[in-house]
Chain A
Amino acid sequence: MGLNPRRDAGTDSDDRASRRRLLGWLSGVGLFGSGILSAFSNFVFIKPRATYGAPQRFTAGKPSDYPDGTRVALEPRRVCIVRDGNKLAAISTTCTHLGCIVGLSETGFACPCHGSRYDQDGTVTGGPAPKPLAWYKVSLAPNGELEIDKDVEVNPGTYLNV
């Protein structure tokens, strides 16, 4: 289209043309690279390093607070404390399907959002849930309280003996 008549007319020496080519390439790579870098930095920026939500590790009272046969949901913590004889465990009440809170039902757990059902141990018995409810690590803190760590999942059926 004749935007640059000098180049079209072929008056440049080969030397000048190749230098111009090189500079063009370098500018292009520089600009494109900066674009990619800044796009990437934006993602780094919006990914928080620290979160402000509830802590994942917390204490939940003494074992004696939960008599034999207890199944009680600590709702703000989204776990259910289960006691069977001398054995204690903490089962997640966050539905593995889409993150709703499952409620306690006669047969175990039931999710109000999409109808997933679990048995007493959190094994899926119906609905769209893809995997069983998580079991979290329970330990005794030095002061005798139960300590639940939601960052550490344990195999279903792993109890703490008290």
Chain B
Amino acid sequence: MSAKKQSVLANVRELPSNLWHSIFRNPLPHNDVERSATSFTNFFLHIHPVKVNKNTLRPIYTMGLGLMSFFLFVILVVSGILLMFYYVPSTEQAYDRMLDLRGSVAFGTFLRNMHRWAAHGMVAVVFFHMCRVFFTGAYKRPREFNWVLGVVLLLITLFLSFTGYLLPWDQLAFWAITVGTAIAGYAPLIGKQIRFLLLGDASVGQEALLRFYVLHVALLPAIATLLIAIHFWRIRKDGGLSRPARAEGKPELSISVQAVELDPKRTYGLQGLVRGPLVKVGNVPENSVYSWPNLLIAELFALVVTLAIILIVSLLFNAPLEEPVNVMHPPNPAKAPWYFLGLQEMVSYSAFWGGVGVPGLFVLLLILTPYLDRSPGGVGLWFSRKRLLANTVFLTFVIVNIAFIVIGTFFRGPNWSFVTPW
């Protein structure tokens, strides 16, 4: 380029387009090279591969559940930050602030509804996402550790819900947390200490409210954000979303570098170290399409659906708020949030086994699943016949969990005695 002198006026005239091009290096793509470049150079798009397998985009395969969990998390972060402007974590003020949100804050009710329903939704969707991953065998090699991260994220989701549950400081909140932290106290050896650390006192009070608030708005979201980032990053490093194995005899075209021996004394560029699927000119992975716009549209669709559902539900239904805390009178029956009612139902048989032993065993089995089930068959298909045993075991686990939740929700009345809802 020749250093041609331009008048300042001309610079000013070109400023808008220069500014635009300095932000977005590429124009909207019109051919495949530009589509690749767009995915490469945009910060928000570069977590995508340039090309994505068609199987990944089949709505019936993923049902967009992972994305929906993420979008619900985003909605929760945004609405949560907004609610923080008005909330005070004090036993004196917390409940009044809830009433203020309902009465005098613009969009207060609506934001609280969004936060509450997105929280309920996230617990459910994360659970369904886990079911999807299991029933399609997607946790198998090489995705074992991403499954483990997923289980940890499920636990964090539950803990986030649990800590948020106390903040309105109404009767429901107080007694659910009293019961919930008492369950933690049943853990062997360190149970009492955990309970004391959580509550910061002998019983639920100001200290507990402050601690739960800090966990809920700072510590847990930070951990969740970090783990979500690793969870996403690993999807690509583990070779994209799971998909059915290719027909036998056909070589996996996309994997090419692995055959080359790496010499430990030489220095390699990035391409020499990447061992996963590579996109190379004339050696394109089969059955794939460009991420721009195919994957992007799919993601946008999931976002719009998630947002629409949350908005509609928040317009139609108000988040419950019960009487202010009365430490003398537990409601009868005192029930935990619905996703913990299965736990509470089990706890009504035995506090240790129902609250700590069996759930602990469940979580351990979940985490170990990909290391116990090493057979490579049936990946990428819903309810593959090759995975009949594993799927049956997991389905039983799911049904038992849901059954306990249904019993706890609808069939338990005063004094936790059995009632029929009709």
Among B175, B268, B331, B350, residue most surrounded by chain A Cβ atoms (within 10 Å): B175
Name B347's contact: one of A2, A46, A53, A128 (CB within 8 Å). Answer: A128
Q: How many residues of B contact A (CB 8 A)?
A: 44
| Cβ A111 vs Cβ B415 within 8 A | yes
> Which residues of chain A (8-27) have a CB below 8 Å from chain B?
8
Q: Known contacts A98-B182, A99-B203, A100-B175; decide if A112 and B332 are in contact (CB<8 Å).
A: yes
Interface status of A144 (Cβ within 8 A of chain B) = no
Asked if residues A1 and B267 are in contact (CB atoms below 8 Å), the reply is yes
In Å, the complex CA distance between A113 and B348 comes to 9
How many Å lie between the Cα of A23 and that of B175 in the bound state?
Answer: 55
Distance, CA A53 to CA B196, complexed state (A)? 13
Indicate if B178 sits at the interface (CB-CB under 8 A): yes
A2 and B328 contact, CB distance less than 8 A: no
Contact (Cβ within 8 A) A112 B197: no
Question: Which residues on B sit within 8 Å (CB–CB) of A53?
Answer: 201-203, 205, 207
Q: Would you list which residues of chain B between 367 and 419 have a CB under 8 Å from chain A?
A: 414-417
Output the least CB separation between A63 and chain B (Å).
24
Q: Which residues of A contact B267 (CB under 8 A)?
A: 1-2
B220 touches A (CB below 8 Å) = no
Asked if residues B351 and A98 are in contact (CB atoms below 8 Å), the reply is yes
With A43-B197, A52-B207, A113-B416 as contacts: A97 and B178 at CB distance below 8 Å: no
Shortest Cβ gap from A140 to chain B (Å): 26
Residues on the B chain within 8 Å of A52, using CB: 201, 205-207
Contact of B351 among A1, A51, A75, A97 (CB under 8 A): A97
Residues of B within 8 A of A47 (CB): 196-197
User: Considering the chains assembled together, what is the distance between the CA atoms of A53 and B294 in angstroms?
Assistant: 58
Hey, which chain A residues are within 8 Å of B178, CB to CB?
Answer: 98-100
CB-nearest residue of chain A to B208: A53
Q: How many residues of A sit at the interface, in one of the four size bands?
A: 20 to 34
Answer whether residue B265 sits at the interface, using C-beta atoms and an 8 A cutoff.
yes
> Given the complex of chains A and B, what is the CA–CA distance between A111 and B414 in angstroms?
10
Instruction: Judge whether B415 and A112 touch: CB under 8 Å.
Output: yes
Do A76 and B328 touch across chains, with their CB atoms under 8 A apart?
A: yes
Report the bound CA distance from A110 to B417 in whole Å. 12
Inter-chain CA distance A47–B268, complex, in Å, is 50
The CA of A129 and the CA of B273, in the complex, are separated in Å by 60
Q: Is A104 an interface residue (CB 8 A)?
A: no
Q: Is B334 an interface residue (CB 8 A)?
A: yes
Interface residues of A in 37-81 (CB under 8 A from B): 43, 46-48, 51-53, 75-76
Q: Is B333 an interface residue (CB 8 A)?
A: yes
A43 to B200, CA, bound (A): 12
Mask: chain B, 144-186; 1 = CB below 8 Å from A; 0 = not = 0000000000000000000000000000000100110111010
- Pairs A–B under 8 Å by Cβ, sample size 10: A2-B264, A46-B197, A51-B200, A51-B201, A52-B207, A99-B185, A113-B416, A114-B344, A114-B347, A127-B348
Task: Supply 7 further A-B pairs (C-beta < 8 A) apart from A2-B267, A75-B329.
Answer: A1-B273, A2-B265, A51-B200, A53-B202, A99-B182, A100-B175, A112-B333
